[in-house]
């Protein structure tokens, strides 16, 4: 069946609501409005206002309510409109959801799924465009997923809900309109990275909204006779370092592409792990392609210049292969 | 008064003696980190928790030793937690500020001011959607009223008609900041009106007044499945924590409040009413001291968790 990433998320949420009466979706405009990215359109009519619960603009309050509901036996899916807005709820995610199990000596698991849109590319300027998923990937107690394909959007939610601990799902807003054929009965391993394109000349390690750009760069490189392997991390915490190392041992060269800022980035963590695990497998110094160290600007040409682009990835590969 | 008046006095002694011993153990470096004593405020937890049922959820703050004890968490496991022992009620991972007991619906023990309030809303939502009879009682201080979480949570609970009893233990100081220096409106119960919520206030130094106020409020929340805000006027006799030189309040003010000591005044009332004689009061005190002695012995005797277990309980083991 050919569906969009948006459809895939909606179908996954619908499946979850059908499968388990404890599941509910809550967030700003998830109900009558249909979701700010139209992910939940139609679900209110099917499941009613108890389970498709519109909230006031109270990120701290409704995420905290989600944490309490999870402790109380429900399986809430909490939608936060954007990663930038999630900072208003950071306390409940980092200081409570992630810590409660440990702080209570293992008495309280917090089975909450928190979904948020991330990323730039739509001229929404600095307060709607940042990629802060790396902040969540820093925190023990959380699992951080970044579905980059329609198939992952379709299949990641079920195992995330089955996880007894808090899961943050970060959806790049530029992906919602992407389309693919997705078979029925798809499953997803939320422990592992995935090779999206096999290759032997260089490993391109990426995740989320950068995946389509990296695949496009791999096409350009292939036309030049450079077969790049594209590895989609999929899970930012816990990082699947083994898959990164396996790819590197095949290619001996690596470029990490991450829409976050380079300083303190997930790309930096990936390179640090590579240095610890398999530095001597590298035949060339690694490279990172990240966003410029600037708040994302409004003007189209400046926004484009601030973000990782296909040309930049190709150029970085040329550097590590030269 | 259906609740046993002697029990109320006995429980206040248990909290007082436990915490006095904790302060001594802090001096001996047996207890470390932050230690926030509830001394002076015991009537709040004792009166309140005696008015609740086992089905009700309780959330408290980092000044929660009394609430935990009242909820039935054994003093042994509270004291062991203070020590950081694996036999503690949070297996030594939480300490003084993070007492938890899932079997008693005691949800901690939070040290982020105001963070329990949104979770109380969620617990009440879960009870409502899962058709469970309990209500959720969330204790917090006057300091939390300044947090956005207070306002967001009261609004959500009222908007969604959830059975939450919000209890402000107003001890007049948010750490060192007097209420009048932090709030434009110091009548905290009145804040409920902005959220179309009922409210009430009671003397938090009088255990029977607290019991009556919580009984009435809890009954309304239970029957109406609507939230309520209750303000208890109380006072902390000791410093905010063990690191507080108390530069922000007069000794005379503290002494004035100590004349209203909830334990001394209630003991005198029970003697005056002929419920207890002096020997009876002393017996309650002695029993509390003996329980504390036993708890310290337990905490001293039980083993430390092996460092090899450091990484446990970050995630739930698979298959659970």
Residue A81 near residue A28 (C-beta atoms within 8 A) = yes
**What does the pLDDT read at residue A322?**
83
A128: CB partners within 8 A, 6+ apart: A82, A84
- Sign of the C-alpha dihedral computed for residues B172, B175, B176 and B180 taken in this order: negative
Taking an 8 Å cut-off on Cβ atoms, the answer to whether A22 and B94 are in contact is: no
Token digits of residue A191? 């422990």
B60 touches chain A (CB under 8 A): no
Taking an 8 Å cut-off on Cβ atoms, the answer to whether A24 and B313 are in contact is: no
- Exposure string for A252-264, b = 16+ CB within 10 A, e = fewer: bbbbbbbbbbeee
The secondary structure of residue A92, as a DSSP letter, is I
Taking an 8 Å cut-off on Cβ atoms, the answer to whether B156 and A65 are in contact is: yes
Taking an 8 Å cut-off on Cβ atoms, the answer to whether B90 and A103 are in contact is: yes
Indicate the angle between helix axes A266-278 and A241-251, nearest 10 degrees: 70
Token digits of residue A130? 């940042």
* Greatest alpha-carbon span in chain B: 59
Catalytic residue (choose from A28, A46, A50, A59):
A59
Closest partner residue to A91 (CB to CB) among B115, B125, B159 is: B115
Q: Tens of pLDDT along A107-128?
A: 999 999 999 999 999 999 999 9
Q: Distance between CA atoms of B170 and A286, rounded to whole angstroms?
A: 58
Residue spans per domain, chain B: 5-299
Q: How many helices (H) and strands (E) does chain B have?
A: 11, 8
Q: Does domain B5-299 correspond to CATH entry 3.30.830.10?
A: no
* pLDDT by residue, tens only, chain B of 320 residues: 545 999 999 999 999 999 999 999 999 999 999 999 999 999 999 999 999 999 999 999 999 999 999 999 999 999 999 999 999 999 999 999 999 999 999 999 999 999 999 999 999 999 999 999 999 999 999 999 999 999 999 999 999 999 999 999 999 999 999 999 999 999 999 999 999 999 999 999 999 999 999 999 999 999 999 999 999 999 999 998 888 889 999 999 999 999 999 999 999 999 999 999 999 999 999 999 999 999 999 999 999 999 999 999 999 997 65
Phi, psi of A210, rounded to the nearest 5 degrees: -80, -15
Of residues B182 and A322, the one with the higher pLDDT is B182
The residue in chain B having the minimum alpha-carbon distance to the alpha carbon of residue A55 is B156
A128 is catalytic: yes
Find, among B144, B62, B69, B66, the residue nearest to B97 by Cα. Answer: B62
**What does the pLDDT read at residue B305?**
94
- What is the CB-side half-sphere exposure of residue A251 using CA atoms within 13 A? 30
**What does the pLDDT read at residue B319?**
65
Q: Distance between CA atoms of B116 and B107, rounded to whole angstroms?
A: 9
The answer to whether the pTM exceeds 0.90 is: yes
**What does the pLDDT read at residue A318?**
98
Please report which confidence band the pLDDT of residue A1 belongs to, taking 50, 70 and 90 as the band edges: confident
Mean pLDDT over the full length of chain A? 97
**What does the pLDDT read at residue B320?**
55
Chain B neighbours among A 73-132 (CB < 8 Å)? 73-74, 76, 91-92, 95-96, 100-109
Taking an 8 Å cut-off on Cβ atoms, the answer to whether B118 and A63 are in contact is: yes
A59 is catalytic: yes
B117 touches chain A (CB under 8 A): yes
Q: Distance between CA atoms of B115 and B29, rounded to whole angstroms?
A: 29
CA distance A253 to chain B (A): 34
**What does the pLDDT read at residue B200?**
98
Q: Distance between CA atoms of B313 and B87, rounded to whole angstroms?
A: 15
Find the helix or strand (DSSP H, E) in which A291 lies: strand A287-291
Q: Distance between CA atoms of B7 and A314, rounded to whole angstroms?
A: 76
Residue A147, preceding peptide bond in cis (omega within 30° of 0)? no
Q: Tens of pLDDT along A272-294?
A: 999 999 999 999 999 999 999 99
User: What domains lie within chain A, and their CATH numbers?
Assistant: 2-181 (3.40.50.970), 194-321 (3.40.50.920)
């Amino acid at each position: 069946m050919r569906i969009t990433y948006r459809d895939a998320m909606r179908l996954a949420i619908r499946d979850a609501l059908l499968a388990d009466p404890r599941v509910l979706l809550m967030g700003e405009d998830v109900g009558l409005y249909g979701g700010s990215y139209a992910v939940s359109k139609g679900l209110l009519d099917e499941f009613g206002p108890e389970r498709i619960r519109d909230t006031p603009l109270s990120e701290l309050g409704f995420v905290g309510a989600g944490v309490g509901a999870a402790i109380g036996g429900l399986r809430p899916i909490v939608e936060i409109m954007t990663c930038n807005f999630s900072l208003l709820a950071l306390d409940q995610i980092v200081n409570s959801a992630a810590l409660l199990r440990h702080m209570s000596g293992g008495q309280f698991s917090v089975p909450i799924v928190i979904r948020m849109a991330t990323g730039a590319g739509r001229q929404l300027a600095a307060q709607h465009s940042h990629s802060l998923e790396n902040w969540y990937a820093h925190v023990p107690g959380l699992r951080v997923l970044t579905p980059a394909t329609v198939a992952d959007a379709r299949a990641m939610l079920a195992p995330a809900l089955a996880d007894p601990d808090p899961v943050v799902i970060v959806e790049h807003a530029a992906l919602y309109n992407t389309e693919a054929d997705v078979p029925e009965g798809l499953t997803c391993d939320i422990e592992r990275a995935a090779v999206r394109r096999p290759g032997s000349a260089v490993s391109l390690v990426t995740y989320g909204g950068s995946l389509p750009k990296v695949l496009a760069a791999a096409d350009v490189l292939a036309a030049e006779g450079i077969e790049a392997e594209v590895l989609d991390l999929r899970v930012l915490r816990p990082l699947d370092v083994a898959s990164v190392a396996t790819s590197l041992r095949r290619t001996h060269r690596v470029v990490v592409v991450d829409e976050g800022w380079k300083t303190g980035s997930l790309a930096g963590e990936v390179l640090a792990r590579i240095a610890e695990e398999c530095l001597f497998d590298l035949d060339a110094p690694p490279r990172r392609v990240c966003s410029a160290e600037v708040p994302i600007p409004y003007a189209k040409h400046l926004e484009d210049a601030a973000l990782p682009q296909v040309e930049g990835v190709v150029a970085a590969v040329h550097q590590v292969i030269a | 008064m259906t609740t046993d008046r002697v029990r109320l006095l006995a429980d206040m002694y248990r909290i007082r003696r436990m915490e006095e011993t904790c302060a001594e153990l802090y001096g001996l470096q047996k207890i470390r980190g932050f230690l926030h004593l509830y001394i002076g405020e015991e009537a709040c937890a004792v009166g309140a928790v005696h008015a609740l049922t086992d089905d009700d959820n309780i959330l408290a703050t980092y000044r929660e030793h009394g609430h935990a004890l009242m909820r039935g968490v054994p003093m042994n496991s509270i004291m062991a937690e203070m020590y950081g022992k694996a036999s503690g009620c949070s297996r030594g991972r939480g300490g003084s500020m993070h007492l938890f007991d899932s079997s008693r619906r005691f949800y901690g023990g939070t040290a982020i001011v105001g963070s329990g309030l949104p979770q109380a809303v969620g617990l009440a939502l879960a009870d409502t959607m899962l058709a469970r009879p309990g209500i959720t009682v969330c204790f917090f201080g006057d300091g939390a009223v300044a947090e956005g979480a207070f306002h967001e949570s009261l609004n959500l609970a009222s908007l969604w008609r959830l059975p939450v009893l919000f209890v402000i233990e107003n001890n007049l100081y948010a750490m060192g900041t007097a209420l009048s220096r932090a709030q434009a409106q110091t009548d905290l119960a009145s804040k409920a009106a902005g959220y179309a919520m009922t409210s009430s206030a009671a003397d938090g130094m009088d255990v029977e007044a607290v019991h009556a106020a919580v009984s009435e409020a809890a009954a309304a929340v239970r029957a109406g499945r609507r939230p309520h805000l209750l303000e208890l006027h109380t006072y902390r006799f000791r410093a905010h924590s063990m690191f507080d030189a108390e530069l922000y309040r007069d000794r005379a003010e503290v002494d004035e409040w100590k004349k209203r000591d909830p334990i001394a005044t209630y003991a005198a009332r029970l003697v005056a009413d002929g419920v207890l004689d002096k020997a009876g009061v002393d017996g309650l005190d002695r029993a509390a001291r003996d329980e504390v002695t036993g708890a310290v012995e337990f905490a001293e005797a039980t083993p430390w968790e092996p460092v090899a277990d450091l990484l446990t309980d970050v995630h739930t083991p698979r298959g659970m």
